Structure 1
Amino acid sequence: MSNRKVPEKWQSNVKAMKAVQVAFDMDEQFQLAIRREALEAGLSPSDQIRTILGLPTNKRPKRPRLTVSLSPDDYEVLAEKYGLDADQQLEIKRKLMDDLILHVKTNIE
């Protein structure tokens, strides 16, 4: 590795680059309990673990969002479901959001 100086605009990322992700293999009930605590506290599971361990967390608010990875095959299936073309990804996303909202309204409320 070279001894080149890190550009000033990247200095704040140096610590993050040195961080190492740690995974915990623990019983499912413990994982679920920590995830539930995180959800109730409005935290990510990672931030909840940091809180439990007494470590600092990032205080910047995060944009709450749900994510799912969709493959080209998934878009084909969804396009067929919604009567759209697979390349109409924005319209498919709108339909997915409608389905998720409907799910919550009919199953959770």
Structure 2
Amino acid sequence: MSAAPKSAPPVQKPPRWQGNEQALRAVQVAFDVEEAVMEAIRVAAFHGNVSTSTQIRQVLGLPVPARPKRPRLTVTLSESDYALLASRYGLKPDDRLGIKEKATRELMAFVPPQMPQMAKPGEKSGS
């Protein structure tokens, strides 16, 4: 007979994660819906100046934060994407922080100079 495998000791979470136990257990859910539904959600989110995730929570009647904790844009980058960006920015492909900083500056430069400031949710736009 072989001995029963020993269970691994519990993993110690970094101190900054210890208050986020509930968030660590959250599960991302993808909804397979028609294009018209996706477009309606995206348009409503855009007009409400909220993320599509927040818009979905509003439609489903789930609680939403008063304001985003970390407003951000996200994109998934492959190894070849990093290689392309590194070449474009004159960096090494493994310099992910440098690539992110250059890409952030490029995204910030995307905003047209004459673009008016968007009103925050709950505020009226200037008139």
| Superposed pair shares fold, TM > 0.5 | yes
Gaps spanning 5+ residues in structure 1: where? 1-8
Larger Rg: 2
1:44 deviates by: 2.7
Aligned twin of 1:102 = 109
Q: Is the counterpart of residue 93 in structure 1 residue 100 in structure 2?
A: yes
TM-score (norm. length: structure 1): 0.63
Alpha-carbon RMSD across the aligned residues, in angstroms, is 3.1
| Structure 2 Cα separation of the partners of residues 73 and 29 of structure 1 | 32
TM-score (norm. length: structure 2): 0.56
Aligned twin of 1:45 = 52
Aligned twin of 2:78 = 71
Query: Relative contact order (C-alpha < 8 Å, sep 6+): which is higher?
Result: 2
The alignment partner of 1:104 has SS state of coil
| Structure 1 Cα separation of the partners of residues 40 and 84 of structure 2 | 34
From the two aligned structures, give the one with the greater helix fraction.
Answer: 1
Residue-pair matches, total: 97
Pick the aligned partner of 1:35 from 28, 42, 64.
42
